[in-house]
A = this chain, B = another copy of it.
Amino acid sequence: MANRPGDGTRLDPWYGSYAERTHGLKVSETRALFAVANRPEVVSLAGGMPFLDALPMDLIAKVTADLIATEGAVALQYGGGQGHPRLRAQITEVMEQESIQAHPDDVVVTTGSQQAIDLVTRIFIDPGDVILAESPSYVGALSAFKSYQAWVEHIPMDADGLIPEALRQTIKRLRKAGKRIKFLYTIPCFHNPAGVSLSLERRAEVLDICRSAGVLVVEDNPYGMLAFDGSVLPAIRSMDQDGIIYLGSFSKTLAPGYRTGWALAPHAVREKLVLASEAAILCPSHVAQLSIAAYLENCDWLGQINVYRQIYRERCDAMTTSLAEHMAECSWTNPRGGFYTWVTVPEGINTKAMLPRATTELVAYVSGVAFFADGQGSRQMRLSFCYPTPERIREGVRRLSGVLARETELVALFGPQGDGAGEAVRNPAPDIT
């Protein structure tokens, strides 16, 4: 073979061998952020990392050590593909907080809820099938959808979340065009990245529309319990069980390093998910599952969620107050929980083009384009308030406002700054606020 890596060329001798689906894989907008976020001089408003310093580490260390010392030969062994029965039972208790009644038999433990998204897509999507998703939607889900060659159709949102009438019309239009719609992917609580929640009335309406149309609902709810005021909205899954796959995660209520999430699915679908998961990873990590089981048994996990809520509320306040003070020319959503606010910048500013300049001035965010499958989002950005302290958040917004001011001058002098793609500017995302 010519052009081996060892020859110092970056050409790929296996290029002609890849599957169709592989050609769509692109480096995600968030990849570089993990690196940037780790540079201490940068205020990162980019990543969705929970603030783990708030965890009782000594207690978790003790509980984990006890687990390994007393049950190590089980905890470090292979387990079943569906997940450990002890943890699945506890997961049903966790979901009771969101008014969900479920049986442990219908829970599938996954390697983070990302794997649940991947598995759902794997079992339902043939190339060209349609997935409905909010406009914007979670970047990780969009990557998974793309890797199975799905067509993502975005549905507009407003301050109350997904707009039911838009959902109804989109389904009608796509059906008329002969498209196969497989499911609606929705993040009803403290939306990533939009920061808004689907109102209670709309939950019933969205469910009704999907039920009537025979469209499965995939409800992704990692932030549902992180309401700042402690008021947990009933999950859509609490209103129906046959037409919904509910996805949950311990990444935000405990810690993401365990990579432990779950899917709660109708019986027959659950079986397919388990089979697909066995083909993908054999079984989820036993030691991660049993560590979490021991944490839930021995620690005040609801109290810990309250600790997180208070921290994130304070940080969200710091962010929205700073935005009002320094970036009044922008608009933003007002989160009542979760990790994110969604900011719309003045016309002419391109958040993707601006990002390298922001990083130079030691502040990072995620450009809105990451959250669309169709090139929208160049006037939006996602700001996260979960990880930096309130002081750092205020400093970050100050820096960002400076970057924005200089960008505005540039636009006034030279006209709008494209990102090279162009289409984003022609098809602007709606301002959700």
A interface, CB within 8 angstroms of B:
1, 4-6, 10-15, 17-22, 25-28, 31, 34-35, 47, 49-50, 52-53, 55, 57-58, 60-62, 64-69, 72-73, 75-81, 111-112, 114-115, 118, 122-126, 129, 140, 143-144, 146-148, 182, 211, 214, 216, 241-243, 251, 255-259, 266-269, 272, 275-276, 278-288, 291
Contacts and interface: CB of A to CB of B under 8 A. Distances in A.
A20 B72 contact: no
A287 B257 contact: yes
Would you list the 10 A-B pairs with minimal beta carbon distance, nearest first?
A12-B268, A76-B255, A76-B257, A65-B65, A57-B72, A257-B286, A61-B68, A25-B275, A61-B69, A147-B279
Interface centre among A61, A144, A282 (most CB of B within 10 A): A282
A20 B256 CA distance: 33
A288 B65 CA distance: 14
A73 B53 contact: yes
B268 A34 contact: no
Contacts of A27: 275
19 contacts: A4-B242, A5-B242, A5-B266, A5-B267, A12-B269, A25-B123, A25-B279, A26-B275, A47-B78, A60-B76, A61-B69, A61-B72, A64-B68, A76-B256, A77-B257, A79-B257, A122-B147, A257-B286, A287-B288
A85 to B, nearest CB: 11
A124 to B, nearest CB: 6
Contacts of A281: 111-112, 114-115, 118, 259
B80 A34 contact: yes
Contacts of A146: 279
B18 A285 contact: no
A148 B73 CA distance: 34
Nearest to A48: B78
B123 A19 contact: yes
Number of copies: 2
A295 to B, nearest CB: 11
A144 B280 contact: yes
A15 B266 CA distance: 12
B76 A49 contact: no
A52 B73 CA distance: 5
A243 B269 CA distance: 39
A55 to B, nearest CB: 7
A15 B268 CA distance: 9
A26 B211 CA distance: 29
Contacts of A115: 280-281
B268 A5 contact: yes
Contacts of A111: 111, 259, 281, 285
A242 B13 contact: yes
A216 B124 CA distance: 30
Contacts of A124: 14, 17-19, 22
A402 B370 CA distance: 64
Given A77-B255, A257-B286, A22 B57 contact: no
Nearest to A21: B122
A288 to B, nearest CB: 6
A269 to B, nearest CB: 6
Contacts of A47: 78
Given A72-B60, A76-B258, A259-B284, A14 B216 contact: yes
Given A18-B123, A78-B256, A256-B286, 5 more contacts: A14-B266, A15-B268, A25-B123, A143-B278, A259-B286
Contacts of A57: 68-69, 72-73
Contacts of A66: 61
A278 B285 CA distance: 18
Contacts of A28: 275, 278
B49 A72 contact: no
